[in-house]
Structure 1
Amino acid sequence: MSILIWPEPGREAGKARDMAGVTWLDRNEQWVILAKGVVVSWGEPPVRGKSLMVKGGQICGLCDAGQVGGSTQPGTRVVDLSHWHLVPALVDAHIHLALGRAADPTERLLRCLEAGIAAVRDGGGREPERLLEAVERLPGVLEVQGCGWALHAPGGYGGFLGRPVRDMAQFRDVLRHLEEMGAFFLKILLTGPVDFASGQVEQGPVFGRAD
């Protein structure tokens, strides 16, 4: 479970930095997290006077802060963040964790967690097995959904992101490997890269209707 923590106004920035990092909650124990406020719905103000209850690694409800002792089971552990606001963790919907041979997917996953990101959608790379190995080394740390290889036209944009596909026979073969790999979604590069200054792509569609 990943939680972003905001200090109450007026607290020193140094104290905020001291609180940065990741605290691991033992899944075999029950926890209560005291908070200044808990954001339950986006766009709504934090709910005051509530504490977060966690059991088995899952958020199981809110309880009144003043009744923590009476509403929790014996042996429940308490984390005091009563000067901080709790908000849901973030999701990065476009990331490349294993892009480039120098990249360390394990280190990048840990950096995501430290930044308050609890789930990512990986947009592909030439060696997705490196990402799979990193996920296996960190089971349950982050929710990772990836496409494995991004598919592109032979000689076209995307060689650094995945595999070329020249016809349906090759597409079926690559798709079979992606299914075996456990890919969550299919990514097909239909155009060249985007020129963000002009808001246009640098190359038109590389696959036609017949493809």
Structure 2
Amino acid sequence: MRIHVGRLIDGTGAAASADQVITVENGVIRDIRDAREAKTFADPARRCLDWSRYTVLPGLVDAHCHLFMSGTADPEVRHRQLAADFEEIRQAIAGHLARAAAHGVVAVRDGGDYGGHALRYKTEEAPAIPAGMTVRAAGRAFRAQGRYGRLIGRPPLPGQSLAEAIREMTAPVDHVKIVNSGLNSLVHFGRQTAPQFTLKELRAAVAAAHARGLKVMVHCNGETPVAIAVEAGCDSVEHGFFMGEENLRRMADMGTVWVPTAVTMKAYARMLPQDAPEAATAMRNFRHQLAQIRLGRDLGVRIAVGTDAGSLGVHHGQAVGEELGILTAAGFSIEGALACAIRVGGDLLDLPGNREIRVGNPARFIAVEGPPDRLPEILSTSRRFDGSLDPQERFLR
């Protein structure tokens, strides 16, 4: 099978290529070449699909979401989801995964919930997960007693250290989520909260997780909580609002991945009453984070696309496009922003290393109708192709 595509983005950050022909045999990309050259060597007996109106790119990763929650502003729905049982939550999770898939997302990393519902869904409802979708789940996050995080996790048991809790957990988690700060204030701009764990505690916890082959994602905002997480050897800093240049430099040096989730504050600024001071503070928070992303890019920090989908106004799937738009506003090219959602996000989730569109890799990609300069808003038009499937099943919505 040959596919003539209007634009090809390979996922490495390289500029898009125009008018390419992709040859697929037995589910593998065997050749990629300019359409004019391909015509010279074309086999007239071999079918060529005309996707000249489409831009083709690898599937995307949302490296931070909460599948148990919806981005809805309906207070009744949000309140119910805060305490719903698995039977109710599983319907919401199914819808969230379907919406993510409809926006070109092929993998999500869940940041935890109070009941471990996303992890249970992954293990018990695997046949219901959209074809080609990978779900990585933390189960229930860890937090300090009496501190923020009850919605997404629990503290270690009385007398149990954080490291001991990680060593002794039996849930089949894919990674460990630790909460090491509070929330960002919508009243006092730039207010920072104390860390939940000491460097000694967090370093031991990270070592315990790594000994089990598990990566560690740490919720942290503010200079001290982020500094502790980075020095402890965490794999990714989640949010990182108001962490400052010194932490960004240290993250670049250590290879720590940053998941900024800037779309959350933009959503708050949009969803809150426009005359409310909280809306103005949310916008200031967003602009500060945008400046940090720009600085992080300049310093060489590895940035992954994560949305915190499930937060107010942050909708699963759709928010990935919004976060990509934020990265381009911070100075990334669209190809560079997409690499954050493909290469960096995929590495963070330990996805196979053959995700880019290149010769020898599996023929799995998405196509969106329109040119790259209309990304990311056209992600909602995405259709997926999987060359390993039977011909009648290769094209997935």
Q: Distance in 1 between matches of 2:47 and 2:160?
A: 57
The partner residue of 2:17 within 9, 34, 47 is: 47
Aligned to 2:146: 155
**Does 1:33 pair with 2:24?**
no
Aligned to 2:178: 188
Contact 1:63/1:71, CA 8 A, preserved across alignment:
no
Contact 2:143/2:156, CA 8 A, preserved across alignment:
yes
Bigger relative contact order, structure 1 or 2 (CA pairs below 8 A, ≥6 apart): 2
Q: Which amino acid aligns with 1:122?
A: D
**Does 1:115 pair with 2:139?**
no
- Give deviations 1:65-87, integer Å, cap 9, x for gaps: 35379567x7x664421122223
Q: Distance in 2 between matches of 1:83 and 1:205?
A: 51
Deviation at 1:39, TM superposition (A): 1.5
The 3 A distance-change label for structure 1 pair 90 and 156 is same
The 3 A distance-change label for structure 1 pair 70 and 88 is same
Q: Distance in 2 between matches of 1:63 and 1:108?
A: 37
Name the one with the larger strand percent: 1
Unaligned 5+ residue runs, structure 2? 70-80, 202-397
Contact 1:122/1:147, CA 8 A, preserved across alignment:
yes
Q: Which amino acid aligns with 2:101?
A: L
Deviation at 1:137, TM superposition (A): 2.5
- Cα RMSD (Å) of the superposition? 3.3
Deviation at 1:140, TM superposition (A): 5.0
**Does 1:62 pair with 2:13?**
no
Q: Distance in 1 between matches of 2:18 and 2:155?
A: 54
Aligned to 1:97: 67
The 3 A distance-change label for structure 1 pair 130 and 191 is same
The 3 A distance-change label for structure 1 pair 59 and 162 is farther
The 3 A distance-change label for structure 1 pair 192 and 169 is closer
- TM-score, length of structure 2 as denominator length: 0.38
The 3 A distance-change label for structure 1 pair 130 and 65 is same
Q: Distance in 1 between matches of 2:124 and 2:29?
A: 28
Q: Distance in 2 between matches of 1:43 and 1:209?
A: 35
Deviation at 1:57, TM superposition (A): 5.0
Q: Distance in 1 between matches of 2:22 and 2:167?
A: 43
Aligned to 1:138: 129
Aligned to 1:168: 160
Unaligned 5+ residue runs, structure 1? 1-30
Deviation at 1:111, TM superposition (A): 0.7
Map 1:7-18 → 2, pairs under 5 A:
none
